[in-house]
Amino acid sequence: MSSAPGSVESLGHATRGLAWEEPLLFERGRPGRKGVDLDPLDVPEVDPKQLLGEAAVREEIPELPELSEVDVIRHFTRLSTWNYAVDLGLYPLGSCTMKYNPRLNEKVARLPGFAEIHPLQPPEQSQGILELMVRLEEALAEISGLDRVSLQPAAGAQGELAGIMMIRAYHEQRGDPRKKVLIPDSAHGTNPASAALNDFECVPIPSGADGVLHPESVAEVMGPDVAGLMLTNPNTLGLFEEHIVRICEIVHEQGGLVYGDGANLNALMGRSRPGDMGIDVMHFNLHKTFSTPHGGGGPGAGPVGVKNILAPYLPIPVARRDGDRFALDYEFPHSIGRLHGSFGNVGMLVRAWAYVRSLGRDGLRQCSDMAVLNANYLLARLRERWHVPYDRPVMHECVLSDKLLEDCKVTTLDVAKRLIDYGYHPPTIYFPLVVHGALMIEPTESESLEGLDRFAEALLSIEREAREDPDVVRSAPHRTPRSRLDETRAARKPILRWQPS
């Protein structure tokens, strides 16, 4: 690329590098090539068609390639270089908590005693993993101020589903089935989607002009037909819901329960506990707060914690102590049932426990402290030149908008694409929905001061470019192996697979 559009070189920013055009797996390889050498068969060969019948046995699968081991490792190594990642730099996706993923956690998860064990082995063969699970349950309960935790949900969205199912089961068990769930307008899309999977009607609640939820707005819609309220604290604007105690009281007074979305727990560890605020049930995102790697989109883990009133409804089984032994407990009379074929994403639980042990009570609090410091520092660096829709002290993330760029006809999407040229993953964009053209920035505690300064300079530089040379922003990214991809075309005529010719 020539230096004219988008000359952004400075130490720490992206620069030119080699990238390879890589075909699909199916466009590589040659007939007869193979990438594994299977051991010779030590039992008599069988003829599948004779054994199972002609009709039961399939023909060749043209969608499987023929490649050597070298072909395969080059293919995926080359593809990997087309990805951005936390290990390359700041990844400030708001509400995703893209913090550093310690490598020790990867190492311990691969120990045969964790990786090569089976969920249906009897508990006496699984004492080590069950102890780890119990210790993690106890730690999460302590961090959140809740009484019991189930580690079973495989992701935040499944933890949320578990939580809202428990709320439904609780009301039904009391002979008081309820129809509605209250959800603030700043909530994640999973909240209403999880409520809908329980046939609840979702009632939106507007946030106040100051960006937080007000008791009056909750009181107005709270009634005896409302099962509960779903709330994220800090909310998706990065603001602490300062009226949360009163709001929980209002919900509780009418027999409702409060669900806490734990997406933003990284702001609170050791400082304040959801259980103490009045939250009855919440999920944890171990891939956010507890550093298990995001893996290009999972696997995550979404344990769910509850106050004692909801404990009888927990998904089964739950790991528990039994004297100095550890067991799986199925004795939950009103359990909502099973959510996972086994016990959840246990490999992620191992990593999360290694993280909790590495940080301890001192380190966990330091994480939240530095995450909050980093977000406020970025806000301080950016607020002069960028529109801050709710300009007040934030917690672990802050939200900007493209309002001041309207005159230059530069949008949030353009800014996001231009950030790529500087070597950053863009923030979460166009969310929360309550802010037009939102840029939601969560730096996490992993980022150093000089890293934050570089990122702030990139955003300030883009703001200047938007005024002086808006085309370079509008046509970004310029440095990636692909320019902006046509998403409309992809959706209009979906091509979801390669076709053998």
By the rule CB under 8 A, 363 interacts with another protein: yes
By CB under 8 A, name the one of 1, 9, 20, 88 that touches another protein.
88
Contact between 282 and 262 under an 8 Å Cβ cutoff? The reply is: yes
Cβ proximity to another protein, 310 vs 379, nearer residue: 379
Query: Is 157 a residue that touches another protein (CB under 8 A)?
Result: yes
Q: Which of 98, 347, 288, 304 is nearest to 194 (CA)?
A: 304
Q: Which of 295, 322, 409, 467 binds another protein (CB under 8 A)?
A: 295
Distance CA 195, CA 197 (A): 5
Q: Least distance in Å: CB of 231 to another protein?
A: 14
Is residue 67 within 8 Å of residue 35, measured between CB atoms? yes
Could you tell me which stretch among 4-12, 247-255, 367-375, 402-410 binds another protein (CB under 8 A)?
367-375
Q: What SS3 state is found at 2?
A: coil
Query: Residue from 8, 90, 136, 165 that binds another protein (CB under 8 A)?
Result: 165
Asked if 462 and 418 touch (Cβ cutoff 8 Å), the reply is yes
* Phi, psi angles (nearest 5°) of residue 104: -55, -35
Give 337 or 407: the residue with its C-beta nearer to another protein. Answer: 337
Min dist CB 456 to another protein, Å, is 10
Tell me whether residue 98 or residue 250 sits nearer to another protein (CB atom).
98
The single residue among 175, 209, 495, 501 that binds another protein, judged by CB under 8 A, is 495
| Residues whose CB is less than 8 angstroms from the CB of residue 168 and which lie 6 or more positions away in sequence, other chains included | 177, 178, 198, 200, 227
Total binding residues for another protein by CB under 8 A? 200
Tell whether residue 310 is a contact of another protein (CB under 8 A).
Answer: no
Query: Binding to another protein by residue 39, rule CB under 8 A?
Result: yes
Window 408 to 427, contacts with another protein (CB under 8 A): 416-417, 420, 425-426
> How far is the C-alpha of 383 from the C-alpha of 391, rounded, in Å?
8
90, 149, 182, 195: which one contacts another protein (CB under 8 A)? Answer: 195
- Residues in Cβ contact with 305 at an 8 Å cutoff, skipping those fewer than 6 apart: 140, 141, 144, 146, 147, 148, 149, 150, 275, 281, 282, 283, 284
Q: Which amino acid, residue 265?
A: L
CB of residue 212 to another protein, shortest distance in Å: 9
Q: State phi, psi for 248 to the nearest 5 degrees.
A: -65, -40
Binders of another protein in range 113-152 (CB under 8 A): 113-121, 125-129, 131-132, 139, 142-143
Pick from 6, 13, 94, 99: which binds another protein (CB under 8 A)? 99
According to CB under 8 A, which one of 17, 58, 209, 224 is a site residue for another protein? 58
- Indicate whether 307 belongs to the interface with another protein (CB under 8 A): no
Nearest to another protein of 160, 397 (CB atom): 160
For residue 138, what are the CA distances in angstroms to 423, 443, 499?
40, 28, 50
Residues 204-233 that bind another protein (CB under 8 A): none
Smallest gap from Cβ 108 to another protein, in A, equals 4
The region of 32-40, 221-229, 248-256, 463-471 touching another protein under the rule CB under 8 A is 32-40
Rounded-to-integer distance, Cα 87 and Cα 109, Å:
19
Nearest one of 333, 254, 339, 257 to 301, comparing CA atoms: 339
| Residues in 475-494 at the binding interface with another protein, rule: CB under 8 A | 475, 477, 480-487, 489-491, 494
For the record, the structure tokens of 248 come out as: 């929980």
Q: Please identify which residue in 5, 12, 223, 298 interacts with another protein, judged by CB under 8 A.
A: 298
In the complex with another protein, which residue's Cβ is closer, 393 or 407? 393
Dist. CA 184–CA 230, nearest whole Å: 7
Regarding 473 and contact with another protein (CB under 8 A), the answer is no
- Contacts of another protein in 247-276 (CB under 8 A): 269-273, 276
DSSP state of 445: T
Nearer of residues 206 and 337 to another protein, judged by Cβ = 337
Phi/psi at 205 (5° precision): -120, 130
Q: How many residues does the chain have?
A: 501
Looking at the Cβ atoms of 461 and 480, the one nearer to another protein is 480
Which one, 180 or 387, has the nearer CB to another protein? 180
Contact (Cβ atoms closer than 8 angstroms) between residue 440 and residue 95:
yes
**Among positions 10, 15, 111, 468, the unique one binding another protein when judged by CB under 8 A:** 111
- Closer residue to another protein (CB): 379 or 407: 379
Nearer to another protein, 290 or 407 (CB): 290
Site residues (CB under 8 A) for another protein, limited to 388-407: 392-393, 395
Q: Residue 239 in contact with residue 399, Cβ under 8 Å?
A: no
Binding track, positions 323-362, relative to another protein; x by CB under 8 A: -------------xxxxxxxxxxxxx-x--xx-xxxxxxx
Residues 53 and 465: their CA atoms lie apart, in Å, by 69
Could you say which of 3, 38, 209, 224 contacts another protein (CB under 8 A)?
38
**Residues 399 and 440 sit within 8 Å (Cβ to Cβ):** yes
Instruction: Yes or no: say if 306 and 148 are a contact pair by the CB < 8 Å rule.
Output: yes
Query: Under the criterion CB under 8 A, does residue 460 sit at the interface with another protein?
Result: no
How far, in Å, are 104, 351, 361, 496 from residue 357 at the CA level?
A: 11, 10, 9, 43
Rounded-to-integer distance, Cα 290 and Cα 240, Å: 20
Residue 296 is a binding residue for another protein (CB under 8 A): yes
60 makes contact with another protein (CB under 8 A): yes
Q: How far apart are CA 305 and CA 142, in angstroms?
A: 10
